Amino acid sequence: MASLRELQASFAAALRDESAACAVLPRENLSIYRNNAAISFRNSLALSFPVLRRRVGDDCFRQLAMRYRQHHPSRSGDLHWVGKGFAAFLAEDLQGSEYAWLADLARLEWSREQAAVATTRAAISVDALARFGPEQLEHLVFSLQPSLELHASDFPIFTIWAANQVENAPPVDQSLPGECGLVRARIDGVEVRPLSPGVFSYISALAAGAPLGEAVAIAGLDQSALVHALGFVFQEALICAVTLKVGHSAH
């Protein structure tokens, strides 16, 4: 007699391929389980990528979800994770096509999905800088909110995302310039926000661990822009801790 493992493997094979042999009765009812698995997967994906679904429409989204599931089936008993590889799949699947921008939109939406269930850390105020001397400011290293994700795209993905928070929104002009910005958890929800290229470069450098002076240089900010950029990260409660780069002791 077949082992339990063999019986489950044959059932699983019949869920993937309706012509596969499986010793159950009534056999035609296997289609209920086959449909359940496909629908659960697709619905979960649609919850994670609502803007993408709105832009491509239900039929196209169903096709994308089916192709994605064939290559990347669920690997967890928690459906939340099925969308983890969707952006990378789209980047490969749509490479060079007029829909390549969907991969960047999917990355943005997956970040939003992650931020929606992330915690926020207590932010420090700009007063924390008072314990450092002026000559030390360029050596400060910041810890940013752990949920912070930064996105840069050749396409206007932040505009597309904002315009499609409702069903049946008019299409966004795809010839608009590329955009960059941030996604992060707030205590009361998620923030999805476009940033100017200078501020984006500066925050990206800080997030990568660069000291303040280096981040400013990378972003090409002048003195007045620096004051604004430094004030911005504190006002927006993005900074959780500040330390001096090793070798530049406290005042």
Contact residues for another protein, defined by CB under 8 A? 1-5, 7-9, 11-12, 15-16, 23-27, 29-30, 32-33, 36-37, 40-41, 44, 73-80, 116-120, 185, 189
List of residues 6+ apart from 169 with CB closer than 8 A: 54, 163
How far from the centroid of its chain's Cα atoms is residue 185's Cα? 12
**Closer residue to another protein, CB minimum distance, 37 or 240:** 37
In the bound complex, what is the minimum distance in angstroms from residue 175's beta carbon to another protein? Answer: 36
In the bound complex, what is the minimum distance in angstroms from residue 156's beta carbon to another protein? Answer: 28
- What is the side-by-side order of every strand in the sheet holding 189-195? 149-153, 179-186, 189-195
**Closer residue to another protein, CB minimum distance, 16 or 251:** 16
**Closer residue to another protein, CB minimum distance, 116 or 126:** 116
**Closer residue to another protein, CB minimum distance, 10 or 159:** 10
Encoding tokens for residue 172?
A: 């966004």
Q: Which of 110, 119, 187, 107 is nearest to 147 (CA)?
A: 119
In the bound complex, what is the minimum distance in angstroms from residue 113's beta carbon to another protein? Answer: 10
**Closer residue to another protein, CB minimum distance, 31 or 125:** 31
φ/ψ of 74, rounded to 5, equals -60, 135
φ/ψ of 199, rounded to 5, equals -65, -40
Q: Which of 18, 72, 15 is nearest to 44 (CA)?
A: 72
3-state SS assignment for residue 218: helix
**Closer residue to another protein, CB minimum distance, 17 or 154:** 17
DSSP letters, 147-175, are T-EEEEESS-HHHHHHHTSSTTPPPP-TT
Q: Which of 157, 193, 210, 149 is nearest to 221 (CA)?
A: 210
In the bound complex, what is the minimum distance in angstroms from residue 161's beta carbon to another protein? Answer: 19
CA distance 164 to 116: 18
Encoding tokens for residue 171?
A: 């299409």
Encoding tokens for residue 156?
A: 């206007």
**Closer residue to another protein, CB minimum distance, 82 or 105:** 82
In the bound complex, what is the minimum distance in angstroms from residue 225's beta carbon to another protein? Answer: 33
In the bound complex, what is the minimum distance in angstroms from residue 41's beta carbon to another protein? Answer: 7
In the bound complex, what is the minimum distance in angstroms from residue 168's beta carbon to another protein? Answer: 22
